[in-house]
Amino acid sequence: MSCFLCSYTVAMRRTFDEHEVRPAWSLDGRWQFVTQGDKPPMRKDGLPRSYARSIQVPSCWELLPGLESYRGVAWFRTVLERLPGRPTRLVFGGVSHTADVYVDGRRLGHHYDAFTPFEVVVPAEGDPADDRPIESELVLRVDNTFGPHSGLHLENDYYTWGGITRPAEAQALPDDGLFIQRIFATPTLAPGGRWNLDLRVRLGNLGTGVVRRTVRVAVAGCSMTLGPIAVPPAGDKTVEGRITGIAADPWSASSPSLYFLTAQLIDPDTDEITDDLIDRVGFRQVRVRGKRVLLNGRAVRFRGFNRHESHGNFGCALPLEAQAQDLEILRDLGCNFVRTAHYPNDQRFLDLCDEMGFYVWEESHARQVKSDHPAYPEQITRSTQEMLDWHHNHPAIVMWGYLNECESRTPEGRDEHARLYRLIKQCDPSRPVTFACHYNKLSIAYRFCDIVSWNRYDAWYSGWTQKIEPAIKDMIKWLDTPASKGGAGKPVIMSEFGGAGLYGCRARTRAKWTEEYQSDILDESLRVYLHHPRIVGAAIWQFTDCRVTENHWSTRARTHNNKGTLDEFRRPKLAYDTVKARMEEAAKKWNR
Ligand code: ADA
């Protein structure tokens, strides 16, 4: 039996350690694995008796020979070591797309949606005085099927992979059950170039008694003590505070200064540090002022791409190095902006955007979803809340998006936009909110965004490149009239535009589907969109080709959306240099 405490590997769900006091260790590695298709013998508790295969966690099961298009159920199994007498908190960065979590045959957790993290707590067992770890069986039942149970993962223009697709970790919580669950830190500009930092610290109490603690928060050479607070059993409590007058370098894409924020739980009677949580903050403030977006009081413009988490070698489970490569390529292309179409991203990608300096439009999981799907209302609400709950502190996230190309022409569609817009603003009033709309003048939901965002394919689905400029001039003119029902005077982002170019398809005819024509579309689109004074952002559709689901998108050549400026293996197409030239030209003109 390994003495895991001396050999455990630090958790890898972030690009930094979130704990110094709380033991945390990675669950990544080889797990046992079996699919429903393998027809494993089952135990009475409904779990497999034996596992025919093994698999790497994190990864997509589509990488296993023979499972390239497996849509179904599979089970993953590993040994979970636990500290005696202490609850064990399991944190999964992402499981695609539905997980049921069993420990020693007991179902302790369920989660839907591949793109948001979730946590499961295993109750304490054994005597805290015992130093030998308890070994338990940890099994995940994973399902990536479509149907009435899945309102967000659908047959769609991106693929729903299967597996434990993002890093997972285990943590030992204090034996009294009180722990720091989340920290929310919101910076605001203060006089004299200083900063205020609004803090919300949510404590969870898994114990059976009321526990009193103080919370000490330290950041950028400042600190404050919150409490003491008494947290009721089996409950949680949020404490708030504000650190004022912080002298800190501002965060921006050109100067991404970051500061660790440490929160510690202190026993007021013994002064012992019983738990901790470390996160990172960047001191920046985003505001919409009239037709502009201001970052730290200065107008900012966004230029970049829509990026799916989709890779020819890794599926949606891109390792950290591949995620970093994507951002290096975006940097080389002269970009400062990435839209996480159409769902919350791996938190390590967001960490890299914080560190390398990219502005991020992160959006909750929705692409042309239907609000009348039986599972939709609960799933869209929970998925949006989870995005806001887990990703709040990333300075790179400068706006929240929601409901990509969902119904906004009808009163019902408008009301659903109103509901989610208000939910997001209520959870996080510190960021602008937008939704990518392709209904143009037919949409009646422009009241429910702070930035108007349009998806337009003038030179692909209809018309030619010559149509791009007159079409957007007409739209912007219309937007600033009462006919737009709430869009007048708001900043505009071109959230999607482009066309397909099959990698390697070259022709002097510059016909549709050639790399040449794709380059022509992007050249004209960027010439117009990057320089129009009323447009504050432009995101090309899309960064790389991405796999799509077979049944629904037979019109997609090779079951891929081929509108990438690079293919799914990150091989540049002809448009790469065209885009690079246009982005660098805009960066020089706007000086940022
Ligand atoms: C829409 C949608 C994208 C993609 C794009 C396309 O704008 O938001 O996900 O499907 O169309 O390629 O047509």
Ligand 1 neighbour 438 (Cβ under 6 A): yes
Ligand 1 neighbour 453 (Cβ under 6 A): no
pLDDT of the residue at 3: 35
Low-confidence ranges of the chain (pLDDT < 70): 1-11, 552, 592
Cβ-based neighbours of 46, under 8 Å, separated by 6 or more: none
Beta bridge partner(s), residue 579: none
Q: How many C-alpha atoms does 314 have within 13 Å on its Cβ side?
A: 21
- SS3 string, 520-549, reads HHHHHHHHHHCCCCCEEEEEECCCECEECC
Strand, coil or helix: 418? helix
pLDDT of the residue at 7: 43
Ligand 1 neighbour 563 (Cβ under 6 A): yes
In this structure, which residue's CA is closest to atom 4 in ligand 1? 157
Would you state the torsion angle of the CA atoms of residues 124, 125, 129, 134, taken in this order, to the nearest 10 degrees? -110
Q: Which has the closest alpha carbon to 563: 529, 525, 531, 508?
A: 525
Alpha-carbon separation of residue 7 from 32, 129, 447, 483 (angstroms) = 21, 20, 55, 65
CA of 340 to the centre of ligand 1 (A): 13
Ligand 1 neighbour 443 (Cβ under 6 A): no
Q: Which has the closest alpha carbon to 84: 122, 31, 43?
A: 122
Dist. CA 435–CA 380, nearest whole Å: 14
CB 65 within 8 A of CB 87: no
pLDDT of the residue at 9: 55
Residue from 405, 408, 513 whose mutation best tests the ligand 1 pocket (most atoms within 8 A of CB):
405
Ligand 1 neighbour 405 (Cβ under 6 A): yes
- Ligand 1 atom index nearest CA of 158: 9
CA of 157 to the centre of ligand 1 (A): 7
CB 51 within 8 A of CB 77: yes
Ligand 1 neighbour 308 (Cβ under 6 A): no
Cβ-based neighbours of 291, under 8 Å, separated by 6 or more: 489, 490, 491, 492, 534, 536
pTM of the model: 0.97
**Token output for 505:** 């398809």
Strands 163-164 and 134-143: unpaired
Strands 73-82 and 211-219: unpaired
Alpha-carbon separation of residue 66 from 61, 240, 374, 508, 552 (angstroms) = 10, 52, 33, 40, 21
Dist. CA 537–CA 504, nearest whole Å: 30
Alpha-carbon separation of residue 324 from 60, 319, 330, 387 (angstroms) = 19, 9, 10, 21
pLDDT of the residue at 550: 85
Ligand 1 neighbour 404 (Cβ under 6 A): yes
Ligand 1 neighbour 561 (Cβ under 6 A): yes
Ligand 1 neighbour 28 (Cβ under 6 A): no
Which alpha helices (H) appear in 433-533, and where do they start and end? Answer: 468-479, 515-529
